[in-house]
Amino acid sequence: MDPQPGTQTAATRRPSRVGQWLAQRRVSQWWKAGLAAVLAIAALFGGLDRVDNTATPFAPGEEFSDGQFLLTVDRARLVEELRGGGRVVGRETPGRSYLGVVATLRNDGTTPGRLRNELDLRGVPDDMFYGVFRLRDGSPIPALGPGLTEELVFAWQVPAGALRQGSAITIRVWKKSLKQLMVTYGGKEWLDSLTDYGVTELVVGAPSP
């Protein structure tokens, strides 16, 4: 019986390179081709960019740059009432104490730098961020302008008894990079790294070394 015309055409059609590659391997090996394709496409969209995942320890009194700010964390104090510039900045609250961390910051960027989340207090349960104040007069400061240096107090309310004089606290400073906002309205903003940070330990109430 003569072969059907369509069968003849199919028999003489040369398989593509991909087809040949697949035909020479078992179906169970095709995942390699799939993986290569997925990786190639991921690379095109930045999916294979390097990810930093490092903690950089720095000592109290030592300078650390997070990209946006050059900072020095000096000392920590535990007080019942927060005072600055001759006035009360935080009233005494039953069951709570104020933890103040003194740090000097210089904004190395070209836009105002927000201060609220600059220092990340770790490992103190039920802590509540209270504010950032200028050490010299106790005035609140939400942001530091570019090229300016200020000695600041970062304050948290912590449960009474959670910390004592001599307790050690851990402060993280997340590294930052200047990135163009794409989803929300705005220009370039300093955004925290998800994985890369500086870390220092302070003894509450101890003078800076």
Partner 1 sequence: MRTPDVKALVSAVGVLVVVAAAALVWHNLPTPTDLYGPFEVRGRAGEAVQGRAISATVTSVRIAPRVNSVQAAGNWVVIDTTLEAIRSTELPRADLVAGPNTYAASDRFSLDTLGDEISPGIAQRGSWVFDVAPALVEAGSSAPLLLRIWAGSDILDSRLVIDIPADDPRIARTEDVDLAERTESAR
Selected binder of partner 1 within 14, 26, 87, 91 (CB under 8 A): 14
CB of 9 or CB of 117, closer to partner 1: 9
Interaction mask 46-75, partner 1, x per CB under 8 A = x-----------------------------
Sign of CA dihedral 198, 204, 208, 209: negative
Q: How far apart are CA 171 and CA 151, in angstroms?
A: 17
Q: How far apart are CA 78 and CA 69, in angstroms?
A: 25
Selected binder of partner 1 within 34, 44, 50, 207 (CB under 8 A): 44
CB of 74 or CB of 150, closer to partner 1: 150
41 forms part of the interface with partner 1 (CB under 8 A) = yes
The residue range among 43-51, 69-77, 118-126, 160-168 that interacts with partner 1, by the rule CB under 8 A, is: 43-51
For residue 136, how many other CB atoms are within 10 A of its CB?
11
CB of 48 to partner 1, least distance (A): 12
CB of 124 to partner 1, least distance (A): 29
CB of 17 or CB of 91, closer to partner 1: 17
Compute, in degrees rounded to 10, the torsion defined by CA atoms 76, 79, 83, 86. -100
Residue 174: which of 196, 144, 189 has the closest Cα? 196
For residue 134, how many other CB atoms are within 10 A of its CB?
16
Interaction mask 97-126, partner 1, x per CB under 8 A = -------------xxx--------------
Contacts for 195 with CB less than 8 Å, ≥ 6 apart: 51, 52, 53, 54
Site for partner 1 in 131-190 (CB under 8 A): 136-137, 139, 142-150, 180-182, 184-187
Name the residue with tokens 């004592």: 164
**Looking only at Cα atoms, what is the longest distance across the chain?**
108
CA distance from start to end of the chain: 98
The residue range among 12-20, 93-101, 124-132, 167-175 that interacts with partner 1, by the rule CB under 8 A, is: 12-20
16 forms part of the interface with partner 1 (CB under 8 A) = yes
- List residues binding partner 1 (CB under 8 A): 12-16, 18-19, 41, 44-46, 110-112, 136-137, 139, 142-150, 180-182, 184-187
